Amino acid sequence: MQVTPLGPVLGAAIGGVDLAGPIDAATRAALRRAFADHQVISVRDQHLDAPRLLAFCQMFGTVRPNRVRPQNYHPDQPEIYVLSSDDIDVFGRNQRIAQGDYWHTDQSYNERPAIATCLYSVETPREGGDTRFIDMYGAYDILPAALRARLEGRVAEHVLIVNEPVFGIAGAPASTSPPATAPVHHPVTRVHGETGRRALYVNPGTTVRIVGMEKAESDDLLAEIFARVIVPELEYRHRWTRNEVVMWDNRCLIHAATNEVPADQRRVMYRALIEDVAQAA
């Protein structure tokens, strides 16, 4: 098995493995090590059906059952969710769903967020549909010491606002829509359970406020953090190929979809969310 960095920031391409066949213990361990080291792993040219994709995901942890939009569940494997550019929004605008096209980390609005997300590209457009990632270990590391000190021991509140980020690109609060979920609290920085590295865990998509601060102070602080960390030096942008498996670590990354898929092109992905760390086997 070969592990080749995808760029200077994060991500690795895995070569020399066939995920459709039996995977021995040494290869499993090497895949998990590459995932821990690189935050995103990509395995190209894989020919997987839904059960085999599920089996790959289960090497990394327990796969979370899907709970909404059963029409999108894979018919053979309901844990696999089918994301399609053919899906039309639920707001009556008759437009393609633009899911997650702002910076966020998956399910941070849950008490127990998905630790990792796996996508498998069944159909890819000729252009568009890239996925962008920001390294949140690096984000923590580049914050000035005085700013880090203000975050020490702090907790932030997260909610889901359907199809809208809490904070806009310019950093100012963007959404005035009501949240779709009850607020949950997570530490602003967290030590990753497998790597022992500290990562920033706030994002413009779902982080509403830092608990215990006045709203104006919290808004300003979050806007300053996002302006400092959503920068090219911490970004890896993934260009998809067909039949590619990508697994990313939500504990140390934020990501954004880019949904500008041409109208005559399709993008179809299988998705699984991993909720608990696999026991070494």
Distances (CA, A) of 79 to 49, 116, 153: 13, 14, 36
Which segment (90-98, 101-109, 121-129, 268-276) binds Fe ion by CB under 5 A? Answer: 101-109
Stretch that binds Fe ion, among 84-92, 104-112, 131-139, 260-268 (CB under 5 A): 104-112
Least distance (Å) from Fe ion to the CB of residue 133?
Answer: 10
- CA pair distance 69, 166, nearest whole angstrom: 23
Neighbours of 138 (CB within 10 A): 21
Cβ atoms within 10 Å, residue 280:
8
Three-state DSSP at 276 gives: strand
List beta partners, residue 167: 173
Q: Rounded distance, CA 49 to CA 56, Å?
A: 11
Closest to Fe ion by CB, 27 vs 163, is 163
Length of the chain, in residues: 281
d(CA 41, CA 278): 17
**Cβ distance to Fe ion smaller for residue 118 or 188:** 118
The footprint of Fe ion on this chain (CB under 5 A) covers a number of residues equal to 2
Q: Which is nearer to Fe ion, 100 or 165 (CB)?
A: 100
Q: How far is the CB of 100 from Fe ion (least distance, A)?
A: 4
| Cβ-contact 1, 27 below 8 angstroms | yes
Residues 6 or more apart in contact with residue 278 via CB below 8 angstroms: 32, 58, 59, 60, 61, 62
Q: Which of 61, 100, 129, 204 binds Fe ion (CB under 5 A)?
A: 100
Report in angstroms the alpha-carbon separations of 147 from 36, 178, 225: 27, 30, 9
Q: Radius of gyration over alpha carbons of the chain, in Å?
A: 18
**Do 159 and 179 touch, CB atoms closer than 8 A?**
yes
Shortest reach from residue 155's CB to Fe ion, in Å: 22
Q: How far is the CB of 146 from Fe ion (least distance, A)?
A: 32
Nearest approach, Cβ of 23 to Fe ion (angstroms)? 26
According to the binding rule CB under 5 A, does residue 106 interact with Fe ion?
Answer: yes
CB closer to Fe ion, 99 vs 241: 99
Nearer to Fe ion, 100 or 138 (CB): 100
Q: How far apart are CA 187 and CA 167, in angstroms?
A: 19
Q: If binding is defined by CB under 5 A, does position 249 make contact with Fe ion?
A: no
Shortest distance (Å) from residue 281 CB to Fe ion: 28
Task: Report the nearest approach of Fe ion to the CB of residue 107 (Å).
Answer: 8
| DSSP sequence for 88-114 | BPSSSS--B--TT-SSB-TTTTSSS--
Choice between 151 and 158, CB closer to Fe ion? 158
Closer residue to Fe ion in complex, CB, 11/100 = 100
Stretch that binds Fe ion, among 48-56, 65-73, 99-107, 201-209 (CB under 5 A): 99-107
Q: How far is the CB of 257 from Fe ion (least distance, A)?
A: 7
Query: Which residue lies nearest Fe ion, judged by its C-beta?
Result: 100
Give whichever of 81 and 151 is closer to Fe ion, judged by the CB atom.
81
Contact between 165 and Fe ion (CB under 5 A)?
no
Binding residues (CB under 5 A) for Fe ion: these are 100, 106
